[in-house]
Structure 1
Amino acid sequence: MTNPSSAATIHGAFVPLRLTDRPLALQAAAVFLGTLFLAASSWIEVPMLPVPMTMQTFAVTLIGALYGWRLGAITVVAWLGEGMLGLPVLAGGGGGLVHFAGPTVGYLFAFPIAAALVGYLAERGWTNGNLVTSVIAMLIGNALILTIGGAVLAAMIGVSDAITYGVTPFIIGAIVKSALATASVEATRRAKQKA
């Protein structure tokens, strides 16, 4: 009988940590470390209004690619839970429910979906050494975040302002962060091959 977690991973995929096949304690440790990485990425911030630019989307897409879709999404949800509880893990060291009711709520809601989507694509071989498909996977994750975040922001401040302030200024950053996430996955893949 086929292992369900292995069946979901197609030949040629590159999810280097293969965490779904590991003991639960190791998966829990990976989730904890992933939330620390997300928090550190959130603290790297360029102040902008109404939404700051951080390295969060870099971390979200990278975790999705390295952890796979299930554990990637779980890690991001755990990090958001820490933020809801008031821990200083969000942009600029913020925390608390106020961040889940303001202009950032759509972006935050989109993060676990983007991590799952990038993880899903990684499990289907998109990040296995082909830099073009890897960058595309990361760009799709970033585009999803901007689309959902921008749509929710549009309901608050109007479509034109949402595009002007909540989408357009982040496009260049999304491209750069997609390239950085691809480079990180590729470096991990090559290191794994040498090991």
Structure 2
Amino acid sequence: MITRDIVLIALFAALMAVLGAFPPLAVPLIPVPITAQSLGPMLAGGILGARRGALSMALFLLLVAIGLPLLSGGRGGLAVFAGPTVGYLFGWIAAAYVIGWLTERKWMRLGFPLAFFNCLVGGILVIYAIGVPVTTYVAGIPLWTSLAGSAPFIPGDVVKAVIAALVIVTLKRTYPLVEARS
């Protein structure tokens, strides 16, 4: 790993902290707020690639674990890793990796539709595939209840996927950081 990689990983961990500064939007009857931070893994994976994107999310979660209040609403510390949203937090690492992996494989053909698809797969499908079952387990609720409770967040995540895809494609043209992989 070179200095440039370390700087980019730290930069995207900092970007996650900035996204956490946006106030969470509370949804009635649902204990989990809508936040801007789910945009971070999409950007990290699509801009940095699989390895660096996942490492930036892991660094961010390490900073949260040591007590820095970087999550939306000023939350931080080990307690957040015992709550019902822990699956979504760890899903950020997997999401950044999957988005980065998909982006690296199709780098030469990457346009908005493909970048958007990558963000949908990694940023929604992967995060929810990890987050929903973990919420079910931690909260002790049926899987269907957990899935129904997560459903209202999907439209906002689709909007975040559109934003991320636009940023990824723009940066690919102007200042590419991902290297094509076969």
Q: Bigger CA drift: 46-55 or 136-145?
A: 46-55
Q: Is the 8 Å Cα contact of residues 84 and 97 (structure 1) preserved in structure 2?
A: yes
In structure 1, the residue matched to 2:48 is 67
| Cα contact 1:73–1:113 (8 A) shared by 2 | yes
Give the match for residue 35 of structure 1. 13
Post-superposition shift, 1:109? 1.2
Counterpart Cα distance in 2 of 1:126 and 1:174: 23
What CA distance in whole angstroms lies between the structure 2 residues aligned with 1:104 and 1:133?
29
2:109, 2:118 → 1: CA distance? 11
Once the 2 structures are TM-superposed, how far is the Cα of residue 103 of structure 1 from its aligned partner? Answer: 1.0
2:25 to 36, 46, 60: 46
Where in structure 2 are there 5+ consecutive unaligned residues?
177-182
Q: Secondary structure at the match of 2:31?
A: coil
Counterpart of 1:183 (choices 163, 166, 170) is: 166
Q: What is aligned with 2:37?
A: 56
Once the two structures are TM-superposed, the CA of residue 126 in structure 1 deviates from its matched residue by 5.5
Q: Map Cα deviations across residues 79-101 of structure 1 (whole Å, 9 max, x no partner).
A: 00000000011121210011100
With normalisation by structure 2, the TM-score equals 0.87
- Alignment partner of 1:65: what SS? helix
* Partner SS, residue 80 of structure 2: helix
1:26 equivalenced with 2:29 (yes/no): no
Residue of structure 2 in register with 1:87 after alignment? 68
* Alpha-carbon distance in 2 for matches of 1:144, 1:32: 23
Question: Which residue of structure 2 aligns with residue 149 of structure 1?
Answer: 131
The alignment yields a C-alpha RMSD, in angstroms, of 1.7
1:97 matched to 2:78:
yes
Long gaps (5+) in structure 1: 1-19
Q: 4+ residue stretches of structure 1 with deviation over 4 A?
A: none
- 2:119 is matched with 138
User: 1:161-172, aligned counterparts within 5 Å?
Assistant: 161-165=145-149, 167-172=150-155
CA distance in 1, matches of 2:168, 2:119: 11
Shift of 1:143: 1.4
1:8-44: per-residue Cα shift (whole Å, max 9, x none)? xxxxxxxxxxxx6xxx222222122111101111222
Asked whether the equivalents of residues 122 and 128 of structure 1 are also in contact (C-alpha less than 8 Å), the reply is: no
TM-aligned CA deviation for residue 75 of structure 1: 0.7
The percentage of aligned residue pairs carrying the same residue is 32
Instruction: From the superposition, tell whether residues 174 and 182 of structure 1 become closer, same or farther in structure 2 (CA, over 3 Å).
Output: same
CA distance in 2, matches of 1:171, 1:43: 21
Answer whether contact 1:41 1:56 (CA < 8 A) is retained: yes
**Bigger CA radius of gyration:** 1
Residue 92 of structure 2 corresponds to 111
Instruction: Give the conservation status (yes or no) of the 8 Å contact 2:46–2:115.
Output: no
Structure 1's 71 and 162: CA in aligned 2 closer, same or farther, altered over 3 A? same
Aligned to 2:32, the other structure's residue is in SS state coil
CA offsets 1:88-132 (integer angstroms, 9 cap, x no match): 111212100111000110101111011000000110116844222
